[in-house]
Amino acid sequence: MLSNLGSPAVSRALTATAAFLLLTWLITSLDSATLVLCHLVGAEEATPAKTFWGLALAATTAALLLVGGLDALQAASVVVGLPLAVILLFLGGGLLRELFAHRL
């Protein structure tokens, strides 16, 4: 039986650990995203640029969650990710063409 696996203290400890791990994963992912965005716009070491992009990502996510909940957030991810996937396919094809042309 799953209900007899542990005491409420163990359950609370596991919940707190999972919440902490999810929070650190989220912070690390957003830090990486802001770093990539700063590199794309040419502001690699600018703290104001990282702050701006971090706030922009947080505001966009909050707005999507408020407007349509998790479904809107998932739909926006697909809508934005699909064209990027096509671009990556073209980039990969170009890379392979260049590698084969130069016999690397």
pLDDT value at 17 more than 90? yes
Q: What is the pLDDT of residue 63?
A: 84
- Give pLDDT, residue 1: 44
**Averaged pLDDT score across all residues of the chain:** 83
Q: What is the pTM of this model?
A: 0.54
Q: What residue segments make up the domains of the chain, in order of their start?
A: 2-101
Other beta carbons within 10 angstroms of residue 68's beta carbon come to 13
* Cα separation, 75 vs 86, whole angstroms: 17
pLDDT tens for 35-76 read 888 888 887 777 888 888 888 888 888 887 788 787 887 888
**Gap between the Cα atoms of 98 and 104, Å rounded:** 9
